[in-house]
Amino acid sequence: MSLLRIMFPGRRFADGARAVLACAAALILAAGMAPARAQTAPDIASPQAILLDFDSGSVLFERAADTSSPPASIAKLMTMAVVFGEITSGRLSQDAEFKVSEYAWRRGGAPSGGSTMFAAVNSTIKVSDLLRGAIIPSGNDGAIVLAEGISGNELAFTVKMNQEAKRLGLTGSMFVNVSGLADPDQKTTPRDMAKVAAHIIRDYPDLYKIYSEPDFLWNKIRQNNRNPLLGMSLGADGFMTGYQKDAGFNLVGSAIQNGQRLIVVIMGSKSEKERADDARRLLEWGFRSFESRTLFEPGQIVGEATLYGGARNGAPLTSEGPIRVLIPRQGDEKLVARIRFEGPIPAPVEKGAELARLTVYRGEQLALEVPLVAAETVPAGPLWRRAMDGAYELVVSLLRQGYAKLTG
C-alpha cells in the first residue's frame, strides 16, 4: 500500500512526492479548509452510533460503528434496497400482485406477535401496498410476501440481499431473513446501515418518499409510522426502527435542514426513549456544529499515483464528482488527508480507472473516504523503460525482504 499524506498545517514530504502533495495542500487551503475543532459532541447513552453527512460522506460522529450486532427490523433497509432495485430496473411493477402464503402469515403476520401489516392469509396484495406495509408499520409479513413474490422463497431472496451488500461495500453484515427476526447469524453495523440508507436516498429518491408517510391503513387497521424522528421538527423524512431482546433498540433516520442532509444510526439502546433522544441529539449537534467545504472540483487534480512500465512515472488522480467534507465551524483541530493506492500500478491505465482512495481524518476519526480515478490515459512505456522499472522493482523487493528478515 502506497500512501501520500497531506496535513494541515503544511509538512515536509519525500522528494518524489513533494511537488504533487504541495500543490494539493495549497488547493485545499485555498478552499477555506482551516484547522478546526467541532463543538463537544453530545453525550449519548447508546453503545453504537454513527452520524454522517449524506452529500459529502463525511463522518461527524461514530461509536463502535464497525461492531457487528443484531439488526432487528432495520434489516428491512436491505430488503427494501433489493426490492427498489427490482422496481427501478423494470423487473417488478408496483401494480403486480403477490399472494400471502401461510408461511408469510404465520412467521410475519398477526399470529407471530411481531410487527405486521395484518395481511390476510391467501389474499393477494399489490406491490405498492406491500411496500407501505413493510415500511410504515415495519410489517414482517409484507417483507416476506415481497421476497417470496420476487425470488420464490425467503432464503433465495436473502442471496440477493447479501449480493447487494457486497456490491455496496458492506463489511460487517450478513442477512439470513428479510424481516430482521432474531437469528444468531444475522448481523450488521451502524456504518453498514448508513451506507444502505445513503444508497436508498441517492438511487431511489421517489421510492424513499414512502418512509415519510405518516400512517398506513390495511385490513381496516390504521397504523402510524414507527419512526419517532418524524414528529420532532428536525426535518426528518425517513427510515425506521427495530427492537430485539438481544439487540436492544435500533434506529436509522435521516433529516434535512437548509439543503444539508444527515443520516444517523443508533444501535443497542436500552429503551425507545434513549434511542430517540440520542438520535435527536446527534442530528441537532450535526446541523449546528458543521459546515461544508469543497476540497476539489470534478476534474481537478488531487495527486498522482506511481506507475510501473508506463510512458510516464505517474498517473494524475482526480474524482468523478466534487470532493466535499464537513468541517467544524470553529476550533483548532488538525485535518489530515492521505492518498492510498496499491503500487506501483502497472501501465497502461485507462482514463477513469479507479486507482486510489483519498481519506481525510479529523484527529483520529476518519471523516471522509472517496475513490480517485486516472485523470488521463497513460500508455505503456518503451521497452527500455519497462526494463528499468522492472530492475528497480526487483532491487526494492529484495531490499524489503532483507529488511523484513533483519527486523523479524
Q: Which residues are catalytic, by number?
A: 73, 76, 138
> How many C-beta atoms surround the C-beta of residue 164 within 10 A?
18
Determine contact, residues 251/276, Cβ cutoff 8 Å: yes
Helix spans in 54-179 (H): 76-89, 102-108, 127-135, 140-151, 154-167
List, in order, residues 6 or more apart from 100 with CB less than 8 Å away: 109, 119, 120, 121, 122, 123, 124, 125, 141, 145
Q: What is the DSSP letter of 120?
A: P
Nearest CA-CA partner of 254 in 282, 274, 215: 282
- C-alpha neighbours within 13 Å on the C-beta side of residue 393: 14
- Spatial contact of 23 and 42, defined as CB atoms under 8 Å apart: no
Contact 336, 9 (CB under 8 A): no
Separation in Å, CA 37 to CA 62, 283, 332, 359: 16, 18, 5, 18
Q: Which residues contact 35 (CB under 8 A, 6 or more apart)?
A: 8, 9, 331, 332, 333, 334, 335
DSSP β-ladder status, 314-318 and 365-374: antiparallel
CB 125 within 8 A of CB 97: yes
Distance of alpha carbon 132 from alpha carbon 225, whole angstroms: 10
Contact 138, 242 (CB under 8 A): yes
Return all residues near 41 (Cβ < 8 A) that are at least 6 apart.
61, 285
Helices (H) and strands (E) in the chain, counts: 10, 19
- Write down the residue that cell numbers 495549497 correspond to: 26
Region of residue 321 (phi > 0: left; psi between -120 and 50: alpha; otherwise: beta): beta
By three-state DSSP, how is residue 142 classified?
A: helix
